[in-house]
Amino acid sequence: MKKQTHSLPSFSAYLNKGFDLRAHAAKMRDARHAPDISPSSVFLALVHAFVFRLPSLQQLDVELAHSCLSQWIGAERAFRDDTLRYSLCGFDLEPLEAMLVDINRRLKRSKAFDQGRVQGRRVAALDGIEVLSSFSRCCDACLERRVERKNQAGLKICETQYYHRAVGCQMIHSPVKSFLAIEWLRPGEGEDTAALRLLSRLPELYGSPFFDILLLDALYAQTPVLELAHHQIGWDVVITLKQNHRDLYQSAVRLFASRPADCTFSEQRDHKTYRVQLWDTEGLPFTFDNPEPVRVVRSEEVLERNRYRERKLTSHSTDHEWLWITTLPAQIFSALVVRQLGHDRWKNENNGWMDLTRHWAFKHGFLHACRHRPKHINASGQRVEVPNRGLRAVTFILLIAFALSSNFVLRHSKLVRRYHLTAVAVARQLYRWISKAPPSIRAPA
pLDDT tens track for 51-75 = 999 888 888 888 888 768 888 898 8
Tens of pLDDT along 216-248? Answer: 998 998 889 999 999 999 999 999 988 766 677
Cα end-to-end distance, the chain, whole Å? 40
Closest among 408, 443, 228, 256 to 335, alpha carbons compared: 256
Q: At residue 177, what is the residue type?
A: K
Closest among 316, 313, 312 to 303, alpha carbons compared: 316
Task: Please check the confidence at residue 196 and state whether its pLDDT lies above 60.
Answer: yes
Taking the model in full, what pTM does it have? 0.92
Q: What is the mean pLDDT of the chain?
A: 89
The pLDDT, as a whole number, for residue 101 is: 97
To the nearest 10°, the Cα dihedral for 110, 113, 119, 123?
-150
Interval 249-262 mean pLDDT: 83
Count the Cβ atoms, other than its own, within 10 Å of residue 288.
8
The pLDDT, as a whole number, for residue 381 is: 83
- Report how far residue 8's alpha carbon sits from residue 61's, in angstroms, rounded to the nearest whole number: 18
Who has greater pLDDT, 397 or 67? 397
Range scoring the smallest mean pLDDT among 126-135, 269-278, 433-442: 433-442
pLDDT bracket for residue 1 (50, 70, 90): very low
Give the DSSP letter string of 289-356.
S---EEEEEEEEEEEEEEEEETTEEEEEEEEEEEEEEE-S-TTTS-HHHHHHHHHHTTHHIIIIIHHH
- Report how far residue 162's alpha carbon sits from residue 369's, in angstroms, rounded to the nearest whole number: 11
pLDDT bracket for residue 160 (50, 70, 90): very high
**What is the 8-class DSSP label of residue 218?**
G
The pLDDT, as a whole number, for residue 169 is: 96
Interval 304-321 mean pLDDT: 84
Interval 198-218 mean pLDDT: 92
Interval 139-150 mean pLDDT: 89
Percent with pLDDT over 70 in the chain: 96
